[in-house]
Homo-oligomer: A and B are copies of this chain.
């Protein structure tokens, strides 16, 4: 249902919390302060470390730390780190579309995909912490349907 995985949600929460304290923090501490189960938060941080979002310090007194300030980490980065590349359909980016010849809409999905990616790239973790999203995107919280006759869900 066009929803991102829970892991991504957890990742954002953990990263924002990590950005608030500007020091090396361990998984258990992050687990306690966020409410995320300890093994899960560890897993998330682990993935984020491999993607360069956070840096890890092994051994005793180790932990994780943000590799970049919150302002420089976009939501899109986190999503791509956890869930993989943002590809709405398999056709996007040269995927093997079994009905490419008959479907009629050449690479139009790429445009939709780009629109999403652009919207996600415009929002940073700092925007999630503060409440500055409204200012930067200006009224995006308007009712979704432009002329909305269909899908009254």
* Residues in B whose Cβ lies below 8 Å from that of A44: none
A-to-B contact residues, CB < 8 Å: 1-4, 6, 9, 12-13, 16-17, 20, 33-36, 51-53, 67-68, 72-81, 83-91, 98-99, 101-106, 108-112, 114-123, 127-129, 131, 133-134, 137, 140-142, 144-153
Shortest Cβ distance from A98 into B: residue: B35
Given the complex of chains A and B, what is the CA–CA distance between A37 and B134 in angstroms? 44
Select which of B2, B68, B79, B127 is within 8 A of A79 by beta carbon.
B2
Q: Say yes or no: A119 contacts B116, CB within 8 Å.
A: yes
Q: Say yes or no: B118 contacts A122, CB within 8 Å.
A: no
A1-B85, A9-B91, A116-B119 are known contacts; what are 17 more A-B pairs with Cβ within 8 Å? A2-B2, A4-B88, A4-B89, A16-B104, A16-B105, A34-B102, A35-B98, A35-B99, A35-B102, A68-B149, A72-B149, A75-B112, A105-B129, A114-B142, A115-B120, A115-B123, A118-B140
Interface core residue of A6, A103, A116, A152 (most chain B CB under 10 Å): A103
- With contact pairs A13-B103, A35-B102, A105-B13 given, residues A151 and B111 touching in the complex (Cβ less than 8 Å): no
Please give the distance in Å from A106's CB to the nearest CB on chain B: 8
